[in-house]
Chain A
């Protein structure tokens, strides 16, 4: 007997030692996991992407309706009398807002209570609602347009414990873990009690878990509920409590607990849940709303408010009762709260960005500096140039016009596709990107990725090259549009005009206004293909260009974004500003990591650009884009160029006002003919955006070296003083110009202004200089 007992003791000791030997490393391993997960970047915060922040001031062209649209995008709530941040009211032409504080890259703007007054489609003045003092300039917080998610689609909106409403914490503790602040991670009594209840029921009916245990469960382990898992969970809970204090654990819990599902995106943390269910910030919620969130901690799927509202309400009211028990509410208050509806918004806000086409441009520019992992794990904030109002207009324009074109021309429905991009002229800021007919769909981005020949839209580069040589070419230089045969290695090429005729006696301006092909090819070959390519490069075209004569008619495959850059340079007086989508990237601590500053490069001569712009204005008045005369509101002066490719496969229009430049493309993905020209297709889309756009008319300021002179259009020669007839035409000072020795023979005196190729009324003419005898 003695030997047996001793053996038993030895066996016990051995097994105990063995257990320790096995257990201790395991515990150490668990300990490492606990610490590693808790420290550092454990939540893989996504990068937030913001649109442009709008500056409000007296005189700004913005309607009350547009402002309300922006406020709704910012999830502001319309109330009778705004008091809390995130509320606004509208009475006639008066809008009162209590704004949220926002941390811009350069400054923190505190919450403000302001009143804006409108008249027509503009703000008249802004005042501080409390003091009545005028506010001259106010920057509205930017709309968040995307969150760049980590690979497993998690998102966070971190909250700090001190910023969480105390009622939420109280409700949570009351329902989940009343002794949270007292225990050491586990509650043996609860575990036993729950274990017994579960055994009796034959399945898991009760959880005895503390908040700490729940945090561990959420944090580290999957949903497996084996004994092994439970043991690990228990050990890790103890370890967590050993390393960190109660408040740290509570804060982690508040940001980690699973609270809902949105498709394949899981909702973790109360900050995000507040957005997900109510579209408001946590500190903007009402008591019963907070209690509901606390109630969801137990089982967000089972108690999902949108799918199972009764269950959710019951659970919420249970928690309210618990609060009464804990003497945090009195019965009267409790009854009032229990009677209130859930208040959950019927539709969940979209997690995936609504603007995938623009976001792609953002990612592209970011990727040059940052790796994908950095973008997805550091909680960066990206401030962009995006304008959601203009984007909305652009999207509607595409949808409307494609439908209309298909209907009116008997084109197969849904067969046409489009791309559209809008930018600011002077700074090259990208305001809107539409990558296809269905802008919500994150698919092939035609605006950035589709390369198609641009057709006649390339011609301005040829003419700009010519005008840069005032010793050879000016606006009225005669060009030869007669039959032309170009001998190439591959054979003869005979370019033809769109109308299959030859235009005798045409000049440089006419040729571009009406987009004559043959004259353009002659001109381009005379200048030299290399020279034209040089101009294209200066304008910002980066894609490969084939130095063949067909290049002059647009045999160059470019994505819309490059055409946009080209026309931005032309619109900005010859000063290229590289197109930007991002303004700044700020890290979680508020430091600016990267700025994308405005750059300016003088690409082409300002004088030549001025003359080209004059022609492009005429294109919109009497040339291939003259439909704009009735498509746009009167007074909106614009300039632009149509582009059509062979067999009418691609329809382009690139054009600009005084403030905005845009490129539109219409075509088919299978590259078949659409039957649309630049002016019957893309121009319509472009015009649809500009007709409602708040933009400035084009008023090109005349460079000092430009002078006007009286010219005989037929010969392209200056008319000597004392003769009647002729038209005013601008020239670059120092140009070589033909001059007539006598008055033109057939001086049929034109009616006032009828012979004018360019309207000199809009610019000053100094007639004292210019004509040399």
Chain B
């Protein structure tokens, strides 16, 4: 073999060997321990949390929308109802009959009340901003509320909703997860958040993920 080949061979050998020692080699040089009687142990898995339901392809029932009902003659006790004022149509006649009264059922409070009552006005303004399409302003208002009550899961959920409206699904999901993290045992809130996450995943085209999220929401409803 000529000189060059020898050197090349040596270099290659060295390279090959060094390739084997790129990871630090950890050795333990300790004296033999004195053997103590050990309690018998076995590895066991800690009982897991309740299993998550498998995602099904059966669409969930839509949430109930309370329909106003036409009252009969005598409304039941305790019912809250409001009168629709008679309207005049073009012919001078009253459009509705005197007996028609629309009953406003006791609906669950849709506009969630914030933990801190001080925030009511601010959040109402934020809702109005969302309605008017001023999403950045609404988000800024929620951030302001969060400065006052940083761990209010409701506020984080509202922010997540705004992110969804802003077509920022990744942020919507992250923020909703944060709300979930802070929502202690509030099942309604947890359900809302998971539905939000589902919508966000839909927006990103993650259909399977959206279904899984809806399944999770169903758990809490």
**Which residues of A approach B to under 8 Å, CB–CB?**
52, 55, 57-60, 105-106, 136-137, 424-427, 429, 480, 482-489, 522, 525, 548-549, 572-573, 575, 583-584, 592, 595, 597-602, 606, 658-659, 701, 703-705, 707, 709, 712, 715, 717-718, 731, 733-742, 744-745, 769-772
Q: Knowing that A480-B28, A709-B46, A738-B44 are A-B contacts, what are 14 other residue pairs whose CB atoms are under 8 Å apart, sorted by A's residue number?
A: A106-B141, A137-B122, A482-B28, A484-B26, A487-B24, A488-B24, A489-B18, A575-B178, A584-B140, A595-B136, A601-B174, A701-B181, A734-B46, A736-B45
Q: In this assembly, does B143 line the interface, its C-beta being within 8 Å of a C-beta of chain A?
A: yes
Task: Name 22 A/B residue pairs within 8 A (Cβ), A-sorted.
Answer: A57-B148, A59-B116, A59-B118, A106-B140, A427-B143, A427-B147, A483-B30, A486-B26, A488-B24, A525-B24, A583-B143, A598-B146, A599-B174, A600-B174, A703-B181, A707-B47, A718-B44, A731-B46, A737-B43, A739-B42, A741-B41, A772-B47
Q: Which residue of B lies closest to A521 (CB)?
A: B26
Chain A residues lying within 8 Å of B118, measured Cβ to Cβ, are: 57-59, 136-137
**Contact (Cβ within 8 A) A602 B24:** no
A737 to B42, CA, bound (A): 9
**Contact (Cβ within 8 A) B45 A734:** yes
Q: Which residue of B lies closest to A137 (CB)?
A: B118
Q: In this assembly, does B27 line the interface, its C-beta being within 8 Å of a C-beta of chain A?
A: yes
Q: Which residue of A lies closest to B38 (CB)?
A: A715
Q: In this assembly, does B71 line the interface, its C-beta being within 8 Å of a C-beta of chain A?
A: no
Chain B residues lying within 8 Å of A485, measured Cβ to Cβ, are: 26-29
Q: In this assembly, does B59 line the interface, its C-beta being within 8 Å of a C-beta of chain A?
A: no
Q: How far is the CB of A22 from chain B (nearest CB, A)?
A: 58
Chain A residues lying within 8 Å of B151, measured Cβ to Cβ, are: 426, 658, 701
**Contact (Cβ within 8 A) B148 A55:** yes
Q: Out of A59, A105, A425, A429, which one reaches B140, CB within 8 Å? A: A105
Known: A106-B140, A772-B44. A600 touches B171 (CB 8 A): yes
Q: Which 7 A-B pairs have the closest CB atoms?
A: A426-B150, A733-B49, A734-B48, A739-B44, A57-B118, A600-B174, A487-B25
Known: A427-B147, A486-B24, A659-B150. A739 touches B140 (CB 8 A): no
Chain B residues lying within 8 Å of A739, measured Cβ to Cβ, are: 41-44
Q: How far is the CB of A731 from chain B (nearest CB, A)?
A: 5
**Contact (Cβ within 8 A) B39 A489:** no
**Contact (Cβ within 8 A) A55 B144:** yes
**Contact (Cβ within 8 A) A742 B136:** no
**Contact (Cβ within 8 A) B136 A772:** no
Q: Which residue of A lies closest to B134 (CB)?
A: A106
- Name the interface size band of chain B: 35 or more
**Contact (Cβ within 8 A) B47 A575:** no
A572 to B43, CA, bound (A): 33
**Contact (Cβ within 8 A) A770 B47:** yes
Q: Out of A602, A718, A733, which one reaches B48, CB within 8 Å? A: A733
Q: Out of A486, A592, A738, which one reaches B43, CB within 8 Å? A: A738
Q: Which residue of A lies closest to B141 (CB)?
A: A106
Chain A residues lying within 8 Å of B41, measured Cβ to Cβ, are: 715, 717, 738-741
A427 to B159, CA, bound (A): 12
**Contact (Cβ within 8 A) B181 A573:** yes
**Contact (Cβ within 8 A) A482 B45:** no
Q: Which residue of B lies closest to A658 (CB)?
A: B151
A707 to B120, CA, bound (A): 36
A742 to B38, CA, bound (A): 11
Q: Which residue of B lies closest to A595 (CB)?
A: B136
Q: How far is the CB of A421 from chain B (nearest CB, A)?
A: 18
Chain B residues lying within 8 Å of A58, measured Cβ to Cβ, are: 118
**Contact (Cβ within 8 A) A704 B46:** no
Chain B residues lying within 8 Å of A575, measured Cβ to Cβ, are: 174, 177-178, 181
Chain B residues lying within 8 Å of A484, measured Cβ to Cβ, are: 26, 28
Chain B residues lying within 8 Å of A583, measured Cβ to Cβ, are: 140, 143
A704 to B43, CA, bound (A): 24
A299 to B144, CA, bound (A): 48
**Contact (Cβ within 8 A) B117 A136:** yes
Q: In this assembly, does B154 line the interface, its C-beta being within 8 Å of a C-beta of chain A?
A: no
A599 to B168, CA, bound (A): 11
Chain B stretch 73-100: residues in CB contact (< 8 A) with chain A: none
Q: Which residue of B lies closest to A55 (CB)?
A: B148
**Contact (Cβ within 8 A) A771 B47:** yes
Q: Out of A598, A718, A745, which one reaches B159, CB within 8 Å? A: A598
Chain B residues lying within 8 Å of A525, measured Cβ to Cβ, are: 24, 26
A770 to B50, CA, bound (A): 11
A58 to B116, CA, bound (A): 10
Chain A residues lying within 8 Å of B120, measured Cβ to Cβ, are: 136
A179 to B181, CA, bound (A): 73
**Contact (Cβ within 8 A) A595 B24:** no
Chain B residues lying within 8 Å of A772, measured Cβ to Cβ, are: 44-47
Chain B residues lying within 8 Å of A59, measured Cβ to Cβ, are: 116, 118
**Contact (Cβ within 8 A) A744 B39:** yes
**Contact (Cβ within 8 A) B171 A737:** no
Q: How far is the CB of A717 from chain B (nearest CB, A)?
A: 5
Q: In this assembly, does B139 line the interface, its C-beta being within 8 Å of a C-beta of chain A?
A: yes
Q: Out of A105, A482, A483, A707, which one reaches B46, CB within 8 Å? A: A707
Which of B24, B119, B137 has the most CB atoms of chain A within a 10 A radius of its CB? B24
Q: How far is the CB of A116 from chain B (nearest CB, A)?
A: 14
Q: Out of B30, B136, B148, which one reaches A482, CB within 8 Å? A: B30
Q: In this assembly, does B40 line the interface, its C-beta being within 8 Å of a C-beta of chain A?
A: yes
Q: Out of B26, B121, B184, which one reaches A487, CB within 8 Å? A: B26
Q: In this assembly, does B193 line the interface, its C-beta being within 8 Å of a C-beta of chain A?
A: no
Known: A137-B119, A606-B181. A737 touches B44 (CB 8 A): yes
A572 to B182, CA, bound (A): 10
Chain B residues lying within 8 Å of A737, measured Cβ to Cβ, are: 43-46
A736 to B46, CA, bound (A): 6
**Contact (Cβ within 8 A) B46 A701:** no
Q: How far is the CB of A697 from chain B (nearest CB, A)?
A: 12
Chain B residues lying within 8 Å of A602, measured Cβ to Cβ, are: 174, 177-178
Chain B residues lying within 8 Å of A483, measured Cβ to Cβ, are: 28-30
Q: Which residue of A lies closest to B152 (CB)?
A: A426
Chain B stretch 168-210: residues in CB contact (< 8 A) with chain A: 171, 174-175, 177-178, 181-182, 184
Which of B25, B42, B140 has the most CB atoms of chain A within a 10 A radius of its CB? B140
Q: In this assembly, does B58 line the interface, its C-beta being within 8 Å of a C-beta of chain A?
A: no
**Contact (Cβ within 8 A) A736 B44:** yes
Q: In this assembly, does B21 line the interface, its C-beta being within 8 Å of a C-beta of chain A?
A: yes
Q: How far is the CB of A388 from chain B (nearest CB, A)?
A: 15
Known: A602-B174, A602-B177, A701-B182. A736 touches B43 (CB 8 A): yes
Which of B21, B48, B139, B171 has the most CB atoms of chain A within a 10 A radius of its CB? B48
Q: Which residue of B lies closest to A706 (CB)?
A: B49
A737 to B41, CA, bound (A): 10
Q: Out of B49, B140, B144, which one reaches A704, CB within 8 Å? A: B49
Q: How far is the CB of B79 from chain A (nearest CB, A)?
A: 32
Q: How far is the CB of B74 from chain A (nearest CB, A)?
A: 41
Chain B residues lying within 8 Å of A658, measured Cβ to Cβ, are: 151
Chain B residues lying within 8 Å of A735, measured Cβ to Cβ, are: 45-46
A735 to B26, CA, bound (A): 27
